[in-house]
Amino acid sequence: MPLIVMCGYPCSGKTRRSVELQQYFEQNTERKVHNVGDGTLGIEKNAVYADSQNEKNVRGSLRAEAERRINKEDIVILDSLNYIKGYRYELFCLIKHTQTPHCLVYCLTSAEVSSTWNTERDVEEQYTQEILDALVLRFETPDSRNRWDSPLFTIQKEDTLPFEAISDAIFKRKAPPPNQSTQSQPLSSTNFLYELDKVTQDVLMAILNSQKTSVPGDLIAVPGATEKIELTRSLNMAELRKLRRQFISYTKMHPTENIGHIANMFVQYLNKSIH
C-alpha cells in the first residue's frame, strides 16, 4: 500500500514525526506499518555521509528495503533525509510501478534549530558540525509543483501533524498510472532481445544524426515511435550508450508483450533521463 516519504534537514524531527504517524495508523487502521530508515540499516551516519559512494549505497539499500515491504495492504514510512530531488523522483517511479499512492512529509526547520537539536542528542547519535553543514548546503527543497513531491505536507516544529489529511492523501487518492516503460509484462516473443537491441540502436543513431541539424528545443522523430525526443541539450555517444545499457537492463527484467512498444518506451525513458 502507500509510501510516506519523510524529508528534511538532519535533526529536523523526521524520526519523531514518523513515529507519530506509525502510532496513528496502527491505532486507527488495521494495516501494518513498516518504518524504514537509517536506523533500520544500523549505519554510522558520519562515516556514510562523509563519503559520496557510501551514501549512494545507503540510499540504494533504503530504496530496496522500502520496495521489498510495499504490498497491497501495508503502509511504508521511509524515514531518512531524502534530500536529493533525483532520489525522490526514483521513489515516485517506484510507486508508479507498484501502482500505489504516496505523499511527502517535509519537516521544515532552520539550519540553526537543526544544529541545536543535534547537540542535544547523545554523542554517539550526533552528526559532526561539518557533516551537518554540508548536508544542509546540499539539501534540495521539495516543491509541490513536482509530481514526485506531491502531495506535500510541510510541518514546522510547533505544528501538529495533519493526520486526517495525510490519511486522505494515501487512501483516497488514486495511484499514478504506470508509464509503458515501467510496466511489467510477460515475455512472449522469441525475437524480443534481438528487437530490443536493434530498436534502441536505431533510436540512438537517429538522435545523433538529427543533432547535426537540430538545436536545443527541437523535437526529434525516431524510427518506430509516435513520441518524440525533447532535445533540451546536446547528447554525446557516451551518454546515449550509457542510457541505452540502463534501459536494456531494466527492460530485460520487465519485457513488454508488444515489441512495437519498445521504441516509445525508450523515448519515454530518454526524455525522463535527460531532463
For range 228-254, the mean pLDDT: 84
Residues 42 and 151 in one domain: yes
pLDDT, mean over the chain: 88
Its pTM surpasses 0.85: no
pLDDT band at 191 (very low <50, low <70, confident <90, very high): low
The answer on pLDDT for 190 being more than 70 is no
In tens, the pLDDT along 61-82 reads 999 899 889 887 899 999 999 9
Across the range 102-108, mean pLDDT stands at: 97
pLDDT of residue 179: 56
Average pLDDT over every residue of 180-184: 44
pLDDT bin (cut points 50, 70, 90) of residue 1 is low
Q: What is the mean pLDDT of residues 214-229?
A: 84
Interval 34-49 mean pLDDT: 89
144 shares its domain with 90: yes
Quick check: is 176 in a domain? no
How many distinct structural domains can be found in the chain?
2
Same domain assignment for residues 137 and 210: no
> What whole-number percentage of the chain has pLDDT above 70?
93
Q: Point out the domain boundary residue: 139, 171, 203.
A: 171
Q: Do 90 and 137 reside in the same domain of the chain?
A: yes
**Region 98-102 average pLDDT:** 89
pLDDT over threshold 90, residue 39: no
**What per-residue confidence (pLDDT) applies to 132?**
97
Residue ending a domain, choose from 140, 171, 202? 171
Mean per-residue pLDDT, 169-188: 64
Whether residue 67 is found in the same domain as residue 199? no
Pair 34, 139 in one domain: yes
Whether residue 164 is predicted with pLDDT greater than 70 in this model: the reply is yes
Same-domain pairing of 61 and 100: yes
How far is 37 from 51, CA to CA, in rounded Å?
Answer: 18
Q: Answer yes or no: is pLDDT of 22 > 90.
A: yes
Mean pLDDT throughout 24-40?
93
Question: Residue 242: which domain range?
Answer: 181-274
Q: What is the pLDDT of residue 188?
A: 44
| pLDDT given at position 253 | 73
Q: What's the confidence (pLDDT) of residue 182?
A: 43
What pLDDT score does 136 carry?
96
Domain boundary among 122, 145, 171: 171
Q: For residue 126, what is the domain's CATH number? A: 3.40.50.300
Same domain as 20, residue 107: yes
Of the pLDDT bands very low, low, confident and very high (cuts 50, 70, 90), residue 186 is: very low
Question: What secondary structure, in 3-state letters, does the chain show?
Answer: CCEEEEEECCCCCHHHHHHHHHHHHHHHCCCCEEEEEHHHHCCCHHHHHCCHHHHHHHHHHHHHHHHHHCCCCCEEEEECCCCCHHHHHHHHHHHHHHCCCEEEEEEECCHHHHHHHHHCCCHHHCCCHHHHHHHHHHCCCCCCCCHHHCCEEEEECCCCCCHHHHHHHHHCCCCCCCCHHHCCCCCCCCCHHHHHHHHHHHHHHHHHHHHCCCCCCCEECCCCCCCCEECCCCCCHHHHHHHHHHHHHHHHHCCCCCHHHHHHHHHHHHHHHHC
* Within-domain flag for 238: yes
